[in-house]
Structure formats: structure tokens, C-alpha cells
């Protein structure tokens, strides 16, 4: 099924809004991994929607990269407006 340009734009904006809502989450390692995974999945979906790739694949890869990045950072490495 082909998606229209406006449908892709709406989906991209929804994913971006969801990713940004998770951006400030995470003081513990697990929380950062979870929020990083959510942000990464959103970015992966948005990227594949814009390029016409496999949306599920983008979500999985983006989520895995985001979760790893969140888990590998410490609370001192992230400035949440402190």
C-alpha cells in the first residue's frame, strides 16, 4: 500500500512529538535506556518514512541504537538543565 506525502508528513510529525516527549526522561540507567530506545525508534520510523524503507526495520534498529546509547551514558554526561 502506497502512502501519500501528507500521510508520511503526519506520521513523521507524530513520531517526532513522541520522541521529544521522551527526551527529558531518565535519571537511572534503565530509564535512560528506555527513553533512548523510544527516541531511537521514533527517529528510525521517521527516517524510513522519509526514505521509503522498511518502517518496522527502522523502528527496531533505531530503538536498539537508542537503548544502547541511553544505557551507556551516565547521569553526569547528560545535562537535563541542571
The percent helix, strand, coil of the chain (3-state, each to 5) is 75, 0, 25
Q: Is residue 41 part of a domain?
A: yes
Q: Is residue 10 part of a domain?
A: no
The answer to whether the beta carbons of residues 70 and 64 sit under 8 Å apart is no
Instruction: Domain count for the chain, please give it.
Output: 1
Range of the domain at 41: 26-75
Q: 62's torsion region: left (phi>0), alpha (psi -120 to 50) or beta?
A: alpha
Q: Does position 81 have pLDDT exceeding 80, yes or no?
A: no
The model's confidence at residue 42, banded by pLDDT at 50, 70 and 90, is confident
Q: Is residue 3 part of a domain?
A: no
Q: Does position 40 have pLDDT exceeding 60, yes or no?
A: yes
Amino acid at each position: 500500500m502506497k502512502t501519500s506525502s501528507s500521510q508520511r508528513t503526519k506520521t513523521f510529525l507524530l513520531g517526532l512529538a513522541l520522541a521529544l516527549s521522551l527526551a527529558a526522561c531518565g535519571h537511572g540507567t534503565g530509564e535512560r535506556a528506555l527513553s533512548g530506545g523510544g527516541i531511537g525508534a521514533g527517529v528510525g520510523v521517521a527516517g524510513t518514512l522519509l526514505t521509503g524503507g522498511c518502517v518496522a526495520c527502522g523502528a527496531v534498529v533505531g530503538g536498539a541504537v537508542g537503548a544502547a546509547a541511553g544505557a551507556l551514558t551516565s547521569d553526569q554526561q547528560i545535562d537535563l538543565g541542571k
